[in-house]
Amino acid sequence: MAQAQRDLAVVIGLEVHIQLETDTKIFCDCSTEPADEANTQTCPVCLGLPGSLPVLNEAAVEAAVKVGKAIDADIPEETRFHRKNYYYPDLPKNFQITQYDEPICQDGRIEFSVESERRSVGIRRAHLEEDPGSLRHKGGSIDTAEYTLVDYNRAGVPLMEVVTEPDFRGPGEVRSFLSKLEEVLEYLDVFDAARDGSLRIDANLSVVEADALDGGIDEDRLAAANRTEVKNISSHKGAQKALSYEAQRQKNAIKRGREVQQETRHWDESRGITVSMRSKEEEKDYRYFREADLPPLQVSNWKDQVEIPELPDARRERFQGEYGLSAEAADKLTSTKQVADFYEAVTSEFDPDLAATWVADELLGELNYRDMTITDITDRLGEVTRLVELVAEEEITAKNAREVVLRGMLDDGHDPDIIVEREGLGKTGGDAVETVVEQVIDQNPGAVEDFHAGESGALNYLVGQVMQATGGSADPGEVNQLLREQL
């Protein structure tokens, strides 16, 4: 077939490094909390000093088992650790403890939606490993810096590397997958997307003839395709941009009759391009061998004992069935576990549709507008519930609930009842003020007469009387208006 007529398809496979949320590092007791000062959270183990011995952190194993269960992976009876040898300043031992041919998870699957179409991507393996330290290039980037500092606070932080099959057919799919992956990890409570550096992606991309993909994957052709591995991607958006760039770069090369080099490339976020770093290292370069300081880990017990919560897809479906919500509302309300928990707590007392409107539309909308999330107000569940109650019982109008009470709650941190009273909202509030206004008019015929005679001080006097009678709780503007109306 002539080259110009070939239909080229993009093939992508990911190696995603996620930081597992544990209090201490994977092989020592050092804290994983970010520190202000470099090299303050280190010990002989994570500094790789001679004679120190690693001790496996069970919390990291538990987190990994949770992930394995959530992605439907095979978790073996026994798993073990290997040393991956390479020399780099961020790696104090000159090897990284990782897993090799006996990873803790194999053959999993993650389903996600791309523009409402269901997609499924195979997870080849997911293994535990330690993070190296971090480098700070001073006075420039990696190739222009004057000098470089090393911080070993990160060294030994537990990571899980999730390796997908080359099942992606475009950068957009990758982005949707990453969102879904994070969503699942956050449901499992093993990951914090907001933590700096908690997600790092290496993306492999090749461009192959499309007919090779018809109906299924031609394994041989995929294996034979020259691919590049793009490193240094740290966000969903970055992944999409880097891969769009890289796909186009490879297509251009092929169209010009040039062969794509098998190599490692670096995503330069600020320039929006990928640049060649080095020829791709081969497995043999790493001289993997068993980590003799750590015994094989029996995971079968863990597998039986570790439990995972209801996952986002299942919860989404249940929300539609149990509460009769639309797919769209269920989507929003299960976007994070915290939102879903919040919704279920509110709806236990009210009509599910009303609760959905107030949590999914009003509350999330107002939070989003303020760059806040549901976790900022989880301790105010009672107040939000009270707000919905005020609406449900028609104590206040929906408009006031949204524009005055909810906004006041978020901006000033006040309780809804206090805002209702302060602003003179609500049936009882409004009624009460109106009654007082009537009474004051009845009791002050002289002032009323003066008002009608055009005496300017009369109205102020009457407003003052109402304010006094309500103990200052009424809104002077509203009192003014009510008086004018009734006079």
Please report, as ranges, the residues that interact with ligand ADP according to CB under 6 A.
11-15, 163-166, 204-206, 222, 225, 227, 283
Give which of ligand ADP, Zn ion, none residue 157 binds (C-beta under 5 to 8 Å, depending on kind).
none
Q: What b/e string do you get for 229-245 counting C-beta neighbours within 10 Å, with b at 16 or more?
A: bbbbbbbbebbbbbbbb
Closer residue to ligand ADP (CB): 127 or 315: 127
Stretch that binds Zn ion, among 6-14, 37-45, 209-217, 431-439 (CB under 5 A): 37-45
Q: Which of 123, 114, 113 has its CA nearest to residue 316?
A: 113
Residue 60 and residue 27: Cα distance in Å, rounded?
10
Strand partners, 297: 79
State the nearest-atom distance from the C-beta of 88 to Zn ion, in Å.
19
Q: To 5 degrees, how large is the angle CA 54–CA 60–CA 62?
A: 130
Residue 329 interacts with, from ligand ADP, Zn ion, none (CB under 5-8 Å by kind): none
In angstroms, give the least distance from the CB of 164 to ligand ADP: 5
What does the alpha-carbon distance between residue 155 and residue 150 come to, in Å, rounded to a whole number?
10
- Among ligand ADP, Zn ion, none, residue 204 binds (CB under 5-8 Å by kind): ligand ADP
Reduced to 3 states, what is the DSSP secondary structure of residue 418?
A: helix
Tell whether residue 46 is a contact of Zn ion (CB under 5 A). Answer: yes
CB of 254 to ligand ADP, least distance (A): 14
Q: Which of 14, 30, 150, 391 is in the footprint of Zn ion by CB under 5 A?
A: 30
CA pseudo-torsion sign 372, 375, 380, 381: positive
Residue number with CB closer to Zn ion (31 or 473) = 31
The item of ligand ADP, Zn ion, none sharing an interface with residue 30, based on CB under 5 to 8 Å by kind, is: Zn ion
- Any residues with CB less than 8 A from the CB of 277 and at least 6 apart, and which? 231, 263, 264, 265, 266
Kindly tell me which of 19 and 336 has the beta carbon lying closer to Zn ion. 19
Min separation Cβ 140 and ligand ADP, Å:
30
- Please pick, from the candidates 38, 43, 145, 467, the single residue that binds Zn ion as defined by CB under 5 A: 43
227 binds, among Zn ion, ligand ADP, none (CB under 5 to 8 A by kind): ligand ADP
Binding partner of 334, given Zn ion, ligand ADP, none, CB within 5-8 angstroms per partner class: none
CB of 222 to ligand ADP, least distance (A): 4
Whole-number Cα distances in Å, 38 to 34, 133, 151, 152, 238: 10, 10, 5, 7, 27
Nearer to ligand ADP, 169 or 386 (CB): 169
Q: Is 62 helix (H, G, I), strand (E, B) or coil?
A: helix
Interaction partner, residue 8 (Zn ion, ligand ADP, none; CB < 5-8 Å by kind)? none
Strands of 105-114's sheet in order across: 105-114, 117-130, 158-164, 8-19, 199-209, 228-233, 263-268, 273-279
| 40/460 with CB nearer Zn ion | 40
For Zn ion (CB under 5 A), the number of binding residues is 5
Residue 70 near which of Zn ion, ligand ADP, none (CB within 5-8 Å, type-dependent): none
Radius of gyration of the chain (CA): 31
Which listed residue (16, 20, 28, 243) binds Zn ion by CB under 5 A? 28
Task: Provide CB contacts within 8 A for 366, sequence distance 6+.
Answer: 402, 406, 407, 410
Which residues pair with residue 111 across a beta bridge?
120
**Least distance from C-beta 208 to ligand ADP, angstroms?**
7
Least separation in angstroms between CB 240 and ligand ADP: 16
Q: Which of 215, 262, 260, 182 is nearest to 19 (CA)?
A: 182
CB 274, min distance to ligand ADP, A: 14
Residue 335 interacts, among ligand ADP, Zn ion, none and using kind-specific CB cut-offs from 5 to 8 Å, with: none
Are residues 208 and 225 in contact, defined by beta-carbon separation less than 8 angstroms? yes
- Sequence letter at residue 433: V
Provide the binding-site residues for Zn ion, judged by CB under 5 A: 28, 30, 43, 45-46
